Structure 1
Amino acid sequence: MIYLIVGCALLCLLVLAARSFVSANPAVLARQLRIGGGVVLLLLAGLLAVTGRFFLAIPAFGLAWALLGSAGIGSGGYKPGKASGQRSRVRTAMVEMELDHDTGDMSGTILAGSFQGQTLDDLSDSDLKVLWAETAQDDQSRKLVEAYLDRRLPSWREDFEADGAERQGSAASSGPMTDEEAYQILGLSSDAGDAEIRAAHRRLMMRVHPDQGGSGFLAAKINEAKDTLLRRH
């Protein structure tokens, strides 16, 4: 009788899985299969317990709980999700840059120099060349501007560096990153937990990693922000 009930349940599960297999998202389908398998095992564990076969019911229940937990049911764990509208902010002496988590678009405001108070998007290509030259004394500001240029003008190096302009030195590092800066870079609030920090780090690295055509400077900042906050936690 037990095997008949379990067999019917498995058959129903297989029929439902077959009907949704073609059109289903693979991740959603895998989750549904884990849930279905967990339910079947819970049913089996209950039947075994009713018939006094506790030595079989206990492992069946444990496996069912593991399957349901991996599907996000009953685990009680934090499942970080991507919140729309999040923005990361990186600030140097001359530029404040923002990165949109959803689109990967970069925008920035100029804090010092000939174009103070203006946004990078409002500058012409020739203005950007002047701004880039003005950042020669501030290595971090230059790297931020270059990260923006890499996205807006992929061939900017051929033009901007054609005149032989060279850096005359770089400013010293501003010191260890503060918690406030780290939260701004990752686009998180100060009450974010470890799971949120790691999730934001992964999401941002997919946008700015050098292997994906992004900025090595921003990737280093994002790594530093993650390490700063996780050490504190």
Structure 2
Amino acid sequence: MGLIAPALALLALSVGLAFLVFGPKAGAEKILSRGLAGGLVALGTLLMLTGRLPLGIAIAGFGFAALKGDLPALFGRRGGGRIVKDGRGRLTVAKGRHAGKPLDKLGRTELLELWREVARSPGDRSMLEHYLDRRAPGWREHVDGDSAGRAGGATRPGTMTEEEAYQILGLPPGAGEQEIREAWRRLMKGVHPDQGGSTFLAAKLNEAKDRLLGKHR
């Protein structure tokens, strides 16, 4: 209990220093995330000096990782998504072949590849689509055009395998009719063209649903 007041003082001091270093133009999110990360390092050091070595190492390590951008911003997006905010508040790829790279360091081709990879993750997909809308207006038409050009190949209706259909809907093999319909409705809410989504993804979801429901007729 005796360390609560010093800990709060350290965190407040660290946030204040972050404000002085980055200035008001940096934004509250960046100042808070960087300031709290620095405060955690200081708090961890204090704990180690007062004999609480394991806890101090853990807290200081977390703070260092946040400062380096190896963790999502403390006041940014949380969770295990593919796209997160780093310690500087930048949208960054957390997993996969582009792990650790900010979106603004990826080319258009790489961004579209990433978009296809996160197509079945609503949170990641929505975040990436909003970013693409700002950075490359018209990208949706480009993607849909590419998809239409491949219509004579693997994307032609009727060629989807049962395994692919389950994967697209995010279902385990053998899922029942009700589960299929519920998964389809849930995913369609995020990709329906009338809501600004992708016609290609909507078509794939429809094809997956039809492929699996055909087994139940």
| TM-score band w.r.t. shorter chain | 0.3 to 0.5
Q: TM-score, normalised by structure 2?
A: 0.39
Computing the radius of gyration from Cα coordinates, the structure with the larger value is: 1
Q: TM-score, normalised by structure 1?
A: 0.37
Larger RCO, structures 1/2 (Cα 8 Å, 6+ apart):
1
Bigger proportion of residues as helix: 2
